[in-house]
Amino acid sequence: MNYNHLRYFHVVSETGSLTAAARELGVTVPTVSEQIKQLETTVGHRLFDRTGSGLRLTEVGRVTQQHTSIMFREGERLSERLEMLDQPDRHRLEIGVSSTVSRAMAAESFLPLFRIDSLFARIHSGEEPQLLHALSTHEFDLIVTDQPIPDAGDRGIEIEVLHRPRMLAVASGGLAERVERFPFDLGSVPFLHYTRSSRYRWEIDRFFREHGILPKVVGEVSDIGILRAVAAQGVAAVVLPRSAVDRTVEVLGELPSLRSDVLVAYRSEEPSEFVKTAVAALRSVEGA
């Protein structure tokens, strides 16, 4: 197959239109269209369906995109690796962080990585399935997550606990003043909860059940920044990791029974000294 044809196809599949692809590639729309037609002739199948809203990948197109995504991502990584040869004293480390952890952990938690002269750390945020896939395909050297990893040993993955975040109930203004008996008075004030996709949700629900609290849930949010902002405005009480608590809110009390460990995972086959150095640096930060 012609590499240029695949490149044009990949850009079209990523941008969703011939016009956008032509703009990105710096060529004309007819040129892009012709390259796609030649690739379709080579593979013997149509790669796109033309719809009123633009281009849509066919089944063959989706399969092709899966492979071109790997091809061009690896091409980019190769270019980056070669650039790193100009910095022989530094080793690049690709680190994936689950979106829930990146929202909960203070930025300071990752600062030690950038203070290590021998490392060039690149941190990516993503969802759990994508992170695990990237770890298994060597795209990432390690990942940080707050979700358990089933059958980690069988999958060749080593897991360590980085820390166990302290979870605090917070509010502000008159709402905070109404919580005189923590945690029992939490049932008498509006409470903004986590969505059901969050691990915190189930831990907090268990805490409420253990203490016989029936919260007045006014809504559900997955973003910790929104939770903190709502609490700061005195709209509702919320539960936040300690690292997300600032002076805009007042701490009502701690939920000591929560067990939301933050984990670091890496491939167990002979982890490099650089991976070990990064894990040690992350563990050096006192519980975010």
d(CA 199, CA 202): 6
Set out the domains of the chain in order of their start, with CATH numbers: 3-82 (1.10.10.10), 87-164+261-283 (3.40.190.10), 167-254 (3.40.190.10)
pLDDT (average), residues 278-288? 74
pLDDT tens digits along 31-42:
999 999 999 999
pLDDT at 259 over 70: no
User: 147: which residues sit within 8 A by CB, 6+ positions away?
Assistant: 98, 100, 128, 199, 263
Going by pLDDT thresholds of 50, 70 and 90, the confidence category of residue 106 is low
Highest mean pLDDT among 3-7, 79-83, 91-95: 3-7
Does the pTM surpass 0.75? The reply is: no
d(CA 122, CA 81): 13
